Structure 1
Amino acid sequence: MFNRIKKSLMIRLGMLSREELTVEACLQRGMKVGKNCSGLAGSTIDYAHCWLIEIGDNVTFAPQVYLLAHDASTKRYLDYTKIAKIKIEDNSFIGARVLIMPGVTIGKNAIVAAGSIVTKSVPEGSIVGGNPARIIGKTEDYINKHRLNMETAHVYDKNWTIGGNITLDMCNKMAEELENTVGYVK
């Protein structure tokens, strides 16, 4: 009984432990996450409203994404905090340090550029970026451009990654080859 009261008080005071802020803790509280989702553990999830967050299949999160399902700007004036769902649909990519605000849906096959602040929903198959995020292109066009670019660019297999045990010589070679150009790694 005491532990439950202590935990409730800690939550109200914003003193949550690292264990309570895990993806697993959010799933236990009702957050929904589909299959083959990667990078979510490196994100900050609105634990206080995580049951309002739904993530589809094959979604990739770059580091330090922030999912915020509440907006306390109304609290002082109305004595209520605005809350709304966040939905991230299948096959989306969310770039590093993106902030997704309450009430936003990221459509299927969308790409959100690093550092963006997403205040409005993103249409399916769109690329958005900026503050506030705006449509800057279509996912299909972007992928086709890079598919074509790969025909002449340096392309590296998994051996050229830390997980593939890249050597120092390989690191130096890659850095040299990519001096003024873009490459691709598996």
Structure 2
Amino acid sequence: MELWYWVFLLLPYSPLRIWWLRLGGAKIGRNCFIDRIFLMNLDRTGLFGLTLGNDCYLGPVVLLDLAGRITFGNQVSVTARSSILSHHSVGYSDHPLLKFYPKKVLHTQINSGSVLGVSCLILPGVTIGRESLVAAGAVVRTDIPDHVMAAGVPAKVKKQLR
């Protein structure tokens, strides 16, 4: 998988990156744009846990943790330097903190029409509601409902968008 990923990093255009991701098992809809993103934990589920709907945008230096599944609905935009995680772990199976913080692998979902601002951190198992905006720099620890703007550390609903 490591050689596959190095080839991916060298691909200069979004259509080539999308083709290469699909070849690896990702499900990607029509009219998507994928900038130079980073993928971690490909050795866990490979790309089979990655699903993007139609008209999605993944900006530069976006980090996707593919230890578990990550699903994007249609028309989702993830802007530069945002991170979307699907697991947390303190490390090796004999780590002394494991009894307090057991490993969890969870499905993380960004629903249709949502936008993640620059440098957002979406923690494992979070669902971002439909047509919601997560402001730049937010750390999202819990689910965000549909049609809201959330901001802050930790992210809280600041405004209804309907």
Is the shorter-chain TM-score for this pair beyond 0.5, marking a shared fold? yes
More helix by share: 1
In the superposition, relative to structure 1, how do residues 16 and 81 fare at CA in structure 2: closer, same or farther (>3 Å)?
Answer: farther
Distance verdict in 2 for CA 1:139–1:33, change over 3 Å: same
User: Could you list the runs of 5+ residues in structure 1 that have no partner in the other structure?
Assistant: 1-6, 141-186
Residue number in structure 2 paired with 1:45: 64
Percentage of identical aligned residues: 25
> Offset at 1:62?
1.0
Count of aligned pairs between the two proteins: 126
CA drift at 1:72: 0.8
- Return the match for 1:89 from 96, 101, 111: 111
Contact 2:60 / 2:79 at 8 angstroms: preserved in 1? no
In 2, the alpha carbon distance for the partners of 1:26 and 1:44 equals: 18
The equivalent residue for 2:88 is 71
Which is bigger in relative contact order (C-alpha 8 A, separation at least 6)? 2
Letter in 2 for 1:88: I
Root mean square deviation, CA, Å: 2.7
Q: Which of the residues 51, 56, 73 maps onto 1:56?
A: 73
Matched, 1:99 2:118: no
> In the alignment, does 2:127 pair up with 1:110?
no
TM-score of the two chains, using structure 2 as the length reference: 0.67
Please say if residues 26 and 47 of structure 1, whose CA atoms lie closer than 8 Å, have aligned partners that are also in contact: no
Higher strand residue share = 2
Gaps of 5+ in 2: 10-16, 27-46
Query: Rg larger in 1 or in 2?
Result: 1
For the residues of structure 2 that align with 1:92 and 1:16, how far apart are their CA atoms?
30
Kept in 1, the 8 Å contact 2:49–2:66? The answer is: no
Q: TM-score, normalised by structure 1?
A: 0.59
